[in-house]
């Protein structure tokens, strides 16, 4: 008799093989600013502090059970409410360091607050983000998450 995979293993596998790939293809097609993902990644991977933010089992399970479309929606929501306005409330402390995979991704990618967006991604302070800048932040978060999901956990 064939051994059956558990539901969660099947979900993870499906995610890696279809959803993950589909999402990165859609992203490349629509978002020209991430053409230089390698260069963008180097901006935040230089920081030892930021490299410490990595997915554990809980984050992987959360992302694979919801799928990337939902994760992208959550990321857009956080960016719109907590980053987009000029001088957001409690800037520098508006993004918790745990509790949602998107939060981890934001700290890892320097999209956690306007100070980090300014310092690492050269996006001006003291004004609302443009549509492009908000989309850029969301895409960086989603791309980083897709990378984590395609990297075996350590």
Closest to Zn ion by CB, 33 or 115 = 115
Q: How far apart are CA 147 and CA 149, in angstroms?
A: 5
Binding mask 83-112 for Zn ion (x = CB under 5 A): -----------------------------x
**Residue 25 Cβ vs Zn ion, minimum distance, rounded to whole Å:** 30
Give the up-direction half-sphere exposure of residue 39: CA atoms within 13 A in the CB hemisphere. Answer: 5
Residue 100 CB coordination number (10 Å): 16
Q: Which single residue is written with the structure tokens 């399970």?
A: 61
Q: How far apart are CA 100 and CA 78, in angstroms?
A: 11
107-146: which residues touch Zn ion (CB under 5 A)? Answer: 112-113, 116
**Residue 43 Cβ vs Zn ion, minimum distance, rounded to whole Å:** 13
Which spans of this chain sit near Zn ion (rule: CB under 5 A)? 112-113, 116
């Amino acid at each position: 008799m064939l051994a059956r995979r558990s539901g969660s293993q099947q979900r993870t596998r499906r995610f890696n093989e279809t959803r993950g790939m589909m999402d990165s293809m859609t992203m490349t097609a629509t978002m020209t600013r991430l053409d230089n993902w390698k260069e963008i990644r180097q901006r935040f991977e230089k920081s030892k502090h930021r490299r410490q933010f990595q997915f554990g089992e809980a984050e992987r399970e959360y992302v694979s059970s919801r799928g990337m479309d939902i994760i992208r929606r959550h990321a857009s929501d956080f960016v719109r409410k907590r980053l987009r306005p000029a001088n957001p409330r409690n800037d520098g402390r508006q993004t918790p360091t745990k509790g949602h995979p998107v939060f981890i991704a934001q700290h890892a990618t320097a999209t956690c607050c306007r100070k980090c967006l300014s310092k690492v991604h050269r996006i001006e302070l003291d004004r609302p983000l443009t549509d492009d800048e908000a989309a850029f932040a969301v895409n960086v978060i989603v791309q980083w998450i897709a990378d984590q999901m395609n990297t075996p956990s350590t």
